[in-house]
Amino acid sequence: MILMSPPCQPFTRIGLQGDIADPRTKSFLYILDILPRLCRRPRFILLENVKGFETSSARGLLVKTLSECGYTFQEVMVSPISVGIPNSRLRYFLIARISSEELKVSEILDAFPLTAESDSSNQPTVLSPILSPPTGQSENNMEGSHILYKLETTTDAQRKMDQNKDLSVRQIKDFLEPHVEDSMEQHLLPPKTLLRYSFLLDIVKPTCRRSVCFTKGYGRYVEGTGSVLQCCTETEMESVFTGLDQCSEEEKVQQLSKLKLRYFTPREVANLMGFPQSFSFPAQISTIQQYRVLGNSLNVVVVARLLQLLVS
């Protein structure tokens, strides 16, 4: 079996998108080069990468090589939301095996069941051989959307409300450490961060059924690196942010502090990524380094289901 997550930088939407011209794809291209020449090819292959890989030249070479080597395969864009985990981490996966029995689309969809209440955007997107960008996963079109507060449009607010109504997804509180609030001070966002990034924060409550993807920059950078938790749920977020831009810096900090915003702990991020309770970091690994490796990791539950499907 080959399990691989080739470097994602050549395919990320915020990168240069160098694709196969990027030197970081060399190890992946090397595997594609030797695969047809192996006397004994691996029975199973699982590959993961970021959204963007599915339309790359590297992906084209991959499926061409697999077809020529006698593999049957399926490709899917899937997020942990599909397995009831309140975290968005949309990723491309390919599972392949040397077999006369084809991998069926219905098998993949059965591995990621949805309830009647589920939003259609939670559905895994099984990719067809001739690819077009997956539907339902594009960024929301914000043109004409009225900004409410916190630089959040009506479209943003409605999407988040819909996600929080999805009863097939568990609540954030199920993934929190039980006694973190006793030592909450060390996890609170510092005043400097609140002042600079308050309008960019993705804020969730323990009762929410959504959070954004945690990246390796969580805890060091704020914008687009992961959600923060509102611990004081009695305070309405709208009441804090309305008119905040008219306040002095001292008043802003006082207002924002009412929400008691804190970072998720590394253990909580690991929980949202499906790691078992038996998992732990060595004592000498710093908190920042824990965030880094978790941000570079995969969702364990999603991968486990794909592996079970692959080898069954």
**What is the set of active-site residues?**
8
Distance (Å, whole) CA 260 – CA 56: 43
Given a contact cutoff of 8 angstroms between Cβ atoms, the answer to whether 65 and 14 are in contact is no
Buried b (16+ CB within 10 A) or exposed e, 70-87: ebbbbbbbbbbbbbbbbb
Helix pair 57-68, 26-34: axis angle to 10 deg: 20
Nearest-CA neighbor of 125 among 135, 117, 115, 116? Answer: 135
Distance (Å, whole) CA 133 – CA 139: 12
Nearest-CA neighbor of 309 among 108, 17, 140? Answer: 108
Q: ∠ CA 259-261-263 to the nearest 5 degrees? A: 165
DSSP string across 66-97: HHHTTEEEEEEEE-GGGGT-S----EEEEEEE
Nearest-CA neighbor of 273 among 87, 83, 7, 50? Answer: 87
The residues, any chain, with a CB within 8 Å of residue 241's CB and separated by 6 or more, are: 149, 150, 198, 199
